[in-house]
Amino acid sequence: MQIVTVQHYDAFSTEPNKGNPAGVVVEGSQYSEQEMQEIAKMVGFNETAFALPSNQADIRIRYFTPGHEVDLCGHATMATIYALQTQGFLVNKSSITIETKAGILPILLEEKGEKLYITMQHAAPQFVDFNGSKAALAQSIGLNEDELHAELPIVYGSTGLWTLLIPVQHLASFEKMSPHTATFPSILKEMPTASLHPFCLQAFDKSADMHARHFSSPYSGTIQDIVTGTASGVMGAYYAKYINPEVIYPKTLVVEQGQELDRDGRVHVHVNKVDNELDISITGTAVYVKELKIQI
3-state helix, strand, coil in the chain (%, to 5): 25, 40, 40
Helix H or strand E segment including 62: strand 59-64
User: If you count them, how many residues does the chain have?
Assistant: 296
Q: What angle do CA 206, 268, 203 make, to 5 degrees?
A: 25
Q: Is the dihedral of CA 17, 22, 28, 34 positive or negative?
A: positive
**Spatial distance between the Cα atoms of 104 and 56, rounded to a whole number of angstroms:** 8
**Spatial distance between the Cα atoms of 122 and 232, rounded to a whole number of angstroms:** 11
**Spatial distance between the Cα atoms of 105 and 196, rounded to a whole number of angstroms:** 24
Secondary structure E strands in 175-285: 195-200, 210-212, 214-215, 224-225, 251-257, 265-274, 277-284
Three-class DSSP category at 29: helix
**Spatial distance between the Cα atoms of 121 and 145, rounded to a whole number of angstroms:** 35
Three-class DSSP category at 33: helix
**Spatial distance between the Cα atoms of 70 and 89, rounded to a whole number of angstroms:** 24
Of the listed 15, 33, 38, 47, which one is catalytic?
47
Task: Name the burial class of residue 195, with classes exposed (0-12), middle (13-18) and buried (19+) by CB atoms within 10 angstroms of its CB.
Answer: buried
260 is catalytic: no
Which amino acids are annotated catalytic?
A: 47
